[in-house]
Amino acid sequence: MEETIEGYVDHIIFQNRDNGYTVACLVSQGEEITCVGTFRFLNEGETIRARGVYTTHPSYGRQFSVSSYETVIPRDSLAMERYLGSGAIKGIGAALAARIVRKFGEDTLRIIEEEPERLAEVKGISERKAREIGEQVEEKADLRRAMMFLQQYGITQNLGMKIYRQYGQEMYRILKENPYKMAEDIPGVGFKIADEIAARIGIHTDSDYRIRSGILYILLQASGEGHVYLPKEMLLKRGRELLGVKEEYMEKHLSDLSIERKIVVREIKREGMEPQTGIYASKYYQIELHVAQMLHTLNLQDSVQEDVLEEKIKRIQRSSRIELDEKQQEAVRECVKNGLLVITGGPGTGKTTTINAIIRYFEMEDLDICLAAPTGRAAKRMTETTGYEAKTIHRLLELTGGPEQAQENIRFERNAQNPLEADVIIIDEMSMVDIFLMHALLSAVVPGTRLILVGDINQLPSVGPGSVLKDIISSGCFPVVELVKIFRQASQSDIVVNAHKINQGIPVVLDNKSRDFFFLKRYDANVIISIVITLLQKKLPGYVDASPYEIQVLTPMRKGLLGVERLNGILQQYLNPPSKDKKEREHGQGLFREGDKVMQIKNNYQLEWEIRGNYGIPVEKGVGVFNGDTGVIREINEFAETMTVEFEEKRFVEYSFKQLEELELAYAITIHKAQGSEYPAVVIPLLQGPRMLMNRNLLYTAVTRARKCVTLVGDEKTFYEMENNRMEQSRYTALDVRIKEIQ
């Protein structure tokens, strides 16, 4: 139950100036109370009235959690003196505060605010100093008024500070005229927030500003779902639902936005399909078009002597003691003859063997070879299987950081002006590469360089917009080699065999006679979780020779009884229980603890990392931590307000407490987040879920993440339903159309 307390701020224990989060000691009726909450400006000596509830922190004991507060004018001379002498106003110390209060008494605060020049009447205060004190108070009052003004529109302290810093006193005019401008200018202010403010201010639903901003917002949201464009009908339908206006109101604005080059309208024609009108955000269209152009530029043919080529392929097989099947040999031939080649195939079809053969061929030719993959895990695996150093695509392109950068605006040192110095570039796990990363990569590749793209088109598509690999293949304009034969060694693995069965819709036998593919039938969520904990703690580590942290729980959903959020809270308690030796930090609905397994959940292109050698000395530094990177919390420093995470490749990253929203526990992760990764073993809890989500693609991706063992725990009916469900969410991309247009 909420209570109200009043007292003066004796001292501030901790204050984050960026977001206003404060821990302070309040003296109320002679009792010292620890208060925690978000405060606009709080200074020692101030008198406040606060509402909130008493809570008990596991480490710090009883606290008063403040939900709202107001500054109270000090009621007596002593309180006034205490406030002024606290350092709240620069240039006024304890001695000077005492003289001011003696001179003006209870009228002190009014004098400072309304007649600051009168402060010069006090010994030790010049006219100039009096003016400076007055300006300070006015500035604080401006900011305080701005924050109070924004607060009435439900804007948080942190966001309010961003708005005030961006616009200053112009803020009031912008908010009243066109609050939608904030959605364009300030990261963190989306259309929804701007729309809420506009509604409260009284801006009409059919306002031009609102409709235009809404259309651009819908296209931005669509890119978050993987779309590069939206069909016109879908855009208008979403616009009607979002804006509550008739479609004809929006039609006019589509023309205006097109004239202003903020959107591009194109007819998209595919063979055997009805043409549709696609609406692009301009940047997305330009990127798609440019990718198509660059792919054609790289697709050069090279003439080679067939007999020499065949002899070299035979030599590679002899020296490497491998036997390439016809498709693998074809892949080697095609990559020699063509500037661009796509190699695709499922697990166990020999993609790695083929890559190794290609590397050996170009080594014989004394060419410079670069290997890369979209994620750190995939790059590490590529390094292990080829013996060649593989980098993430971001590191290959030498990412440079910058403030508040969106994915589409990031900068790479390697680009058209400073291209990659390589003769051959091989990219693995291409299904994960979105249109932006593909654009950045192609921009840094000069014609004459061979580009070999390797991936499995049956995996889930990239997190970012586009279906790059699928579109390149479906265009039919570039050489593609599909590996289909499952090799003998792989065919002994039920993981590989069952993955192909899932992909082909052939029923998988769930009889647990396998050595690496198990299905434990359970039908209650809590029982399933109990089995998962037993598997992680006792059964699997010894079976696959890995620690519980290396074994990954994969689940289809974020929410629900078997969702990521619930599972992580439970698994944390068992795999990394509380201890007096482990520091903790509360965040959101949960907490982080030293030793926790965590994952970065958004791309941060300016976050710095360092690789530490012996004695913790940095040996390499760089920037960029990406969505899906996993690590372990090594240190929580309450004093410095930082948390140190060690990611793969011994990369250490220091997060400030205000950056913790970029991290979440990773004992369990969604199957989407596991793309490009491989684990010694995976555990997959399965119960009923949304049909659109619970499909064959998802199941196939989950199963193929395991190297040594897959254990599914749950309802076999759900498993078979997923295997039979070929429904995938359509992605609106037209890279294949752009490629064909250029032909």
Provide the residue type at 167 as one letter: Y
- Residues 70 and 39: their CA atoms lie apart, in Å, by 9
Other Cβ atoms less than 10 A from the Cβ of 593: the count is 19
What is the 3 state secondary structure string of 629-653?
A: CEEEEEEEECCCCEEEEEEHHHEEE
E runs forming strands in 302-379? 340-345, 369-373
> What tokens were used for 722?
């997923």
Place of tokens 């991290």: 663
- Residues 433 and 335: their CA atoms lie apart, in Å, by 20
Helix locations, 115-167, DSSP H: 127-151, 157-167
The CA-atom distances, in angstroms, between 573 and each of 579, 591, 592 are 11, 11, 11
- Residues 265 and 282: their CA atoms lie apart, in Å, by 9
Does 246 count as an annotated binding residue?
no
- Residues 74 and 29: their CA atoms lie apart, in Å, by 15
Nearest CA among 303, 421, 307, 317 for reference residue 360 = 317
Residues in the chain: 743
| Phi-psi group of 34: left, alpha or beta (phi > 0 → left; psi -120 to 50 → alpha; rest → beta) | beta
Q: What angle do CA 154, 155, 159 make, to 5 degrees?
A: 165
Does 20 count as an annotated binding residue?
no
- Residues 23 and 39: their CA atoms lie apart, in Å, by 10
Using DSSP, state whether 9 is helix, strand or coil.
Answer: strand
Q: What is the DSSP letter of 694?
A: S
Provide the residue type at 379 as one letter: A
Contact (CB, 8 A) for 48 and 9: yes
* Mode of pairing for the β-strands spanning 597-600 and 663-665: antiparallel
**Helices (runs of H) and strands (runs of E) counted in the chain:** 27, 30
Instruction: Report the DSSP beta bridge partners of residue 44.
Output: none
- Residues 150 and 194: their CA atoms lie apart, in Å, by 12
Does 505 count as an annotated binding residue?
no
Does 339 count as an annotated binding residue?
no
Does 351 count as an annotated binding residue?
yes
- Residues 107 and 130: their CA atoms lie apart, in Å, by 16
Binding site members: 348-352
Residue numbers in the known binding site for ATP are 348-352
